[in-house]
Structure 1
């Protein structure tokens, strides 16, 4: 009986604190990079936990070279991201070697649209991260 009560208390406390899944965020992760003949291919994982089904998403991103100078401003379009959907998207940085990329910075939101109009959740609730230690990615 005591075990059942303890298990019930644990279950109730877990239900009351759903912090294990980052709800409310638009998660954008720089997942990998690879040199390709055209330049540097970047792979991103985007997850929409904003509570809004998005029909169009995009970010303006600044790419910094090895000297820390902005080498390029890009608009990365992630397209449609339904609620709680995760999508993997690749972008090529033309004429750029991945080893020469020192940092990526989200400069702003280019698009964040739903059937109800334009929103600011894509930037206000953005959580940006990088799995690549040599290429920091953030706001």
Structure 2
């Protein structure tokens, strides 16, 4: 085998290892991004002077959440802040869904355009913190009111 042939085969081996490493890194990144904290606005119903919203929380992280809370802002149709509130999501075991209802006093659901998740203020659990949980939020809405960041 010539010297050039040996160098060429080493080059192919190095490229093979690099491709293997990069594919493993991409797979690991996909695994990490699958971890999320899902929040779905299922419905909003008017009950006299109360707007009742129904939210579904789902813990798709790899650990139990012992205490979850978020500061929200109710935005009106003009996009103006109507109210600032804290929603307590409680605890969530891994892969657990929890449905909670929240009553907004003296609020007409029809006047709201969006519920903005202003910040995650509590997210307690092994290796968790509010910043990590905020980064893993996945929001959807099945109601006329948008749920956003």
Class of the TM-score when normalised by the shorter of the 2 chains: 0.7 to 0.9
Verify: 1:135 aligned to 2:145, yes or no.
yes
Whole-angstrom distance in 2 between the partners of 1:38 and 1:130: 22
Partner of 1:57: 68
Whole-angstrom distance in 1 between the partners of 2:48 and 2:42: 20
8 Å CA contact 2:46–2:108 kept in 1: the answer is yes
> After alignment, is 32-41 or 96-105 more displaced?
32-41
**1:90 paired residue among 98, 101, 111:** 101
The offset of 1:118, in angstroms, is 4.8
Alignment of 1:1-139 (within 5 A): 23-114=34-125, 116=126, 118-119=128-129, 120-132=131-143, 134-139=144-149
Whole-angstrom distance in 2 between the partners of 1:32 and 1:77: 18
Rg larger in structure: 2
Whole-angstrom distance in 1 between the partners of 2:80 and 2:116: 12
8 Å CA contact 1:111–1:118 kept in 2: the answer is no
Unmatched 5+ stretches in structure 2: 1-26
8 Å CA contact 1:50–1:121 kept in 2: the answer is no
Count how many residue pairs are aligned between Structure 1 and Structure 2: 118
Please report the TM-score for the alignment, with normalisation by the length of structure 2.
0.73
The offset of 1:71, in angstroms, is 0.2
Please report the TM-score for the alignment, with normalisation by the length of structure 1.
0.78
Whole-angstrom distance in 1 between the partners of 2:120 and 2:49: 26
Q: Which runs of 4+ in 1 moved over 2 A?
A: none
Whole-angstrom distance in 2 between the partners of 1:28 and 1:46: 5
* Root mean square deviation, CA, Å: 1.8
